[in-house]
Structure formats: structure tokens, C-alpha cells
Structure 1
Amino acid sequence: MKLVNVVARLAACLALLGSCTLSLAQAGKAELLWLGQAAFRLTTPSGKVIMIDPWLRTNPRTPAEYKDLEKLGKVDLILVTHGHFDHIADAPALAMLHKARVFAPGDLNQTLAVLNVLPPELLPRMNKSGTVAPFADVPGLKITAVHAEHSSLFVWKNPATSKDEVHVGGEPVGFIIELENGQKIYHMGDTGLFGDMKFIGEYYKPDVLLIPIGGNFTMGPADAAYATREWIKPKTVIPMHYGTNPLAKGTAEEYLKAMGDSAVKVLPLKPGEKAEF
């Protein structure tokens, strides 16, 4: 009888929607939507939505349909690699809108709590090499913070004085996101070259790499290509953090050229485009 009910409900679904397609969870795939700079929306195979470095509303490369945070869709978790505006700008608003926790460098979260930017229950603590399993109902999904060679601070407008203040931002991090299907995504945040990228590649073995290529503030195309080819060696790489600032002049074309005949698959997405894994 239960099987009959299930079949009947599926038939009703088909009649109502006209067609049914497999969800990402059913297909065992993850989806990455690039929103410009270092901002990504990751939908995991089980349907959890993770926003990474959300700078959307004032990001010149974020498509218009994603600038309205209330229309962005559900958000279950937020990852922030460091305290600079172009990585954390919309994290507090999204966190409050969805009651979603923000995982970031531990000292940055301490600053956000002390300044009352977000309530403590939305600011769990972690630090480099720490691994968390953020969803009790998705035991295979794990997130590890790793080193990034950059800086971090948090600029806060004091409501009492209307003046900007500079506060502790903790040390910047990258994130290794191990999905419930076993695939690993390495979001590098903002970083320059450092030798332990080779260790990260060998130890964590990321399948998908999200790498900054703009230069000036991070690696440029040549450095990023070297790190990709020689040290990290993912299956797939998506270049990011370029095209939003005139000082960050690196381009996807330059990165592709620097990659040469590498076996790594390069996906030069445009903001608003998606990739499935």
C-alpha cells in the first residue's frame, strides 16, 4: 500500500509540474554558482546551500538577479575566508536573514561578536587545521580551515560616531570542503604563493580548486598557474578574484595561457554561470 501511495504521489507531481528532473541530491552532484570576486553559492549533493565570501549587493560583477539577498534563495551556512569588505560584506545580513552560522577565522568571529555585528550563536569558533561537521543530518560533509598567505582586518562603522574603525580580523584562511559524495573543493580565499600549497595538494587532494588570479592583492595568472600545475594538481580549477578592481589586472585568458598543456580542466566561468560536479 505504501508503494502504491508513493507511485500515486509521483504521478501527481508529474501532472502538476509537467515534468520532473532529478535534483542535485538525487543525481549525486554538487553545484557551484560563481557570483563574482570570491563569492560562490555551493549547493551540496544533499541540497545544503553554502555561501562563500558573499560580496553581492555592491559587487560590480554580481548579476542583478543575485543582488537582492531576499531573492537569493535559502542559505544554510556561510564561509568567510577573512575580514576584508569584498569577502565579508553581505555575510552579516545573510546570516540574520536565514539564521545561518558564519564560519570564519576564529579571531574575526570574536570581533563580530564583541561588536554585536551578529549574535554569538551564529558565530562558531574554529581555526587553521580545525575541521567541523556543520550539519548533523549530513555526517559526510566536513569543512577544514587551511593557511592562506594574505592579511585580514575588519572595518566597522561605529553607529555612535558614524566613523569607520579598524578591528582585528584574525589570520586569513582557505577552506577545504569535503562533500557528502566524497569530492573535495578547495576555496583558497585571497592568497599569494606559499610552499605548503604543495602539502595541501598532497594531503587533502582537492578535486575542484577555486583560485585567485587577479594579481596585486593575490597571485596573478602566472603564479596561480604554477600553484595549480605543480603543487595542488586538482582535477578541475575555476579562476576567481579578478575583474572587479583596476589594480587586479589578471585575466582568465592569461591564466589559461600560463596553464599551457596541463591536464587540469580549467573552467573560466562568467559571473552567474554554474558548474556541476
Structure 2
Amino acid sequence: MQEAAVKDRIDEGSWAWKQRENNNRMIGFQERNVGSKGEGQVELAYFGGSCFRITTPAGLTILIDPWRNPPWGSWDWYLYDFPAIEVDVALSTHAHFDHDGLHAVSANTVLDRLAGTYAFADVRITGIADKHVSDSTHNAYDWAEMTRRLTDMETRPPNNARSFDNSLILVETGGLRILHWGDNRPDPPDSVWERIGDIDVALLPIDGSQHVLSYEQVDRVAERLGARLVVPHHYHIWDVTTRGSTLLPPNGWVDANPDPWWAGEGAVWLDPEEIRRSSRRPLCFGENVAFRKPDTKGGKAGA
């Protein structure tokens, strides 16, 4: 019986064959020979969890780390399903449920745990292979140690299980260099830092429980990146994330830094010239997301 259940899950596979959309937009970008056009405004939209959508000046949409609830079904992190949206390119930084919901998104191109470079239209996306955080002693709940004690999963590099790998995602478009940190360790080797280079917008996991990075680690990472803007993700939103996630809002870190930018809605436009006048300025979406939240648990979120 157990073998049959496993076979059913394997046979389920990707949901792309159920989707009614198509890649006509990508064909259009190809036929227009859309390429890099220098600088231009870039939209950054937040979908809760660690999920962001980046829209290039040419209109190409890139979604990183759509979420889902844990597949074992005994408890939830999210109050409802990820919103039904369509994008051009979808990526996942690593194989944890709160980052790998690619099957739930209608995407023309899917890049899962990218290592290497993908270039299309007016974007260049580079995946830099590294490792997930495996030291959580700074957190109130030392979840990494609990994982090691309660399961047979190896979380520490170099012989960690697949889900404790992580790909840093660097998106270059409109004259901006935007880095999605995922849940990467705070101390990658120098070779990784060299591949990253200087960053304009750093999307870093920052929450009041310091689940992934401690506040001190956040500051060190942001400084080494030379980040102009630092955007928190992986934090608690009362009507998106359950209390069982143990996450907390990022307000303490945000307000402790000078000149915080609290977005008034779930998406903002980033101007390269304005961004370059900043230095490690926080940009926080707070409780705002770029979709219509459902009224009740179990409902469907709208785009």
C-alpha cells in the first residue's frame, strides 16, 4: 500500500500539462529581438514568504520562490494556497516547501535550483550554487539541530541532503543587480562572493525570530554585498502565514536602520539612479502583498 502511494506521488509530476496558457509571450519577445536596453524602471512585487516577482523594463516577468504548505499534511505554514498567477520565468532557490511551489505557477520557463546563466529578452539570470543555512543556534527554536536529532537527514555541508543546498539567484535587468539570497548560509567561500559582486538590491531572509539569519549576519551580508537596498522576506504576515511557522515580523530590524522605506502596497517601482543614491536602506513590504488575500482559511488567493 505504501509503495502504491509513493508511485502515485511520482506519477503526479509537474502540473504544466493541465495549464491552458501557452508561451506566445516568449515567442513575441523572440520575434521582436528584445534585448538589453540599458537602464529602466524595474517593478519589484512581494507575494509573502520568500516570493518576489521582478518585471523588467521590457515587461518580462520573473517569479522567485513561490510557496506551498508542507507536503506531509500534519500542519501548515500558510493559511491558503499560493495565488493562481501567470509569469514568463519561474525559479526556486532550493527544495524546501516554502520556496519550491513551482508546480502551482503557470510559467513559460521553469528554472529549478539554477546553477549557471540564463539570458533572455532584457534579463540575465545567474544561479550560484552554494549551501543552505545549517546553524540555527541564534534562533529561539534550533530547528537545524532538531532536524538532525529527529530525522536521518544530514543538514551540514558538504554531505548534506539535497534540500540543504541553495542557489543564490542574481537577476540583472534595467541597470540593476538584484540578488535573491534564498536561505543561503551567511559565510559562503570567497569564490561565491566573487561570483556575486556588488549588489544594488539584496533580498534577504529577515524576521524577528531570526529563523534563517541573525540580525548580525544580515548586517554583515548586506555590507559585504555593498547593497543599496535591503528587502526582508521569509517573515510572518498575520493573514498569510500561520503562527505555527514560528516566524515573526521584521519590524525590529527594519526600524533599527536609518531611513526605512515602508512600501504602501505589494509592489514598487525601482529607479536605478535613485537606488544608487542609497546605502543599505531597508525596503519592507510589511503586510502588503501583490495579490488579493482570501477572506477565510482554505480559500483561493487571487492575483
TM-score with structure 2 length normalisation?
A: 0.55
Q: Equivalent residue for 2:103?
A: 92
> In structure 1, how many angstroms separate the alpha carbons of the residues matched to 2:98 and 2:126?
22
- Contact map agreement 1:31 1:43 (CA 8 A) in 2: yes
One of 250, 258, 266 as aligned partner of 2:282: 266
Larger RCO (CA within 8 A; separation ≥ 6): 2
Q: Equivalent residue for 1:101?
A: 109
- Contact map agreement 1:213 1:250 (CA 8 A) in 2: no
Cα distance per residue 1:173-226 (max 9 Å; x no partner): 1101011x2211000001231154896379521111100013564103332123
Which amino acid in structure 2 is aligned with residue 254 of structure 1?
G
> In structure 1, how many angstroms separate the alpha carbons of the residues matched to 2:99 and 2:56?
21
1:227 is paired with a residue of what secondary structure? helix
Q: Equivalent residue for 1:144?
A: 126
- Contact map agreement 1:225 1:255 (CA 8 A) in 2: no
> In structure 2, how many angstroms separate the alpha carbons of the residues matched to 1:182 and 1:171?
29
Which amino acid in structure 2 is aligned with residue 53 of structure 1?
D
In structure 2, stretches of 5+ residues that fail to align are 1-36, 70-75, 135-152, 154-160, 260-277, 291-303
One of 132, 142, 162 as aligned partner of 2:118: 132
Q: CA deviation at 1:131?
A: 1.6
Q: Equivalent residue for 1:22?
A: none
> In structure 1, how many angstroms separate the alpha carbons of the residues matched to 2:195 and 2:109?
30
Q: Equivalent residue for 1:51?
A: 63
> In structure 2, how many angstroms separate the alpha carbons of the residues matched to 1:272 and 1:201?
34
Q: CA deviation at 1:29?
A: 1.0
2:98 is paired with a residue of what secondary structure? helix
Q: CA deviation at 1:56?
A: 6.1
1:88 is paired with a residue of what secondary structure? coil
Q: CA deviation at 1:38?
A: 0.3
- How many percent identity over aligned positions? 28
Superposition map of 1:196-275 within 5 A:
196=189, 200=193, 204-214=197-207, 215=209, 217-228=211-222, 230-243=223-236, 244=241, 246=244, 248-249=246-247, 251-256=249-254, 259=257, 263-273=279-289
Q: Equivalent residue for 1:120?
A: none
Q: Equivalent residue for 1:158?
A: none
TM-score with structure 1 length normalisation?
A: 0.60
> In structure 1, how many angstroms separate the alpha carbons of the residues matched to 2:219 and 2:210?
16
2:186 is paired with a residue of what secondary structure? coil
> In structure 2, how many angstroms separate the alpha carbons of the residues matched to 1:266 and 1:198?
27
Cα distance per residue 1:80-107 (max 9 Å; x no partner): 0001111112x1131xx34x221122xx
> In structure 2, how many angstroms separate the alpha carbons of the residues matched to 1:246 and 1:259?
28
Q: CA deviation at 1:147?
A: 4.2
Q: Equivalent residue for 2:78?
A: 60
Kindly report the root-mean-square deviation, in angstroms, between the aligned alpha carbons of the 2 structures.
3.6
1:222 is paired with a residue of what secondary structure? helix
Which amino acid in structure 2 is aligned with residue 60 of structure 1?
Y
Which amino acid in structure 2 is aligned with residue 79 of structure 1?
L
Which amino acid in structure 2 is aligned with residue 255 of structure 1?
W
The answer as to 2:187 corresponding to 1:175 is no
> In structure 1, how many angstroms separate the alpha carbons of the residues matched to 2:133 and 2:170?
19
1:85 is paired with a residue of what secondary structure? coil
> In structure 1, how many angstroms separate the alpha carbons of the residues matched to 2:110 and 2:245?
29
> In structure 2, how many angstroms separate the alpha carbons of the residues matched to 1:203 and 1:54?
23
> In structure 1, how many angstroms separate the alpha carbons of the residues matched to 2:42 and 2:63?
13
In structure 1, stretches of 5+ residues that fail to align are 1-24, 106-125, 153-165
- Contact map agreement 2:48 2:289 (CA 8 A) in 1: no
> In structure 2, how many angstroms separate the alpha carbons of the residues matched to 1:150 and 1:86?
13
Q: CA deviation at 1:67?
A: 4.4
Which amino acid in structure 1 is aligned with residue 282 of structure 2?
V
> In structure 2, how many angstroms separate the alpha carbons of the residues matched to 1:197 and 1:210?
20
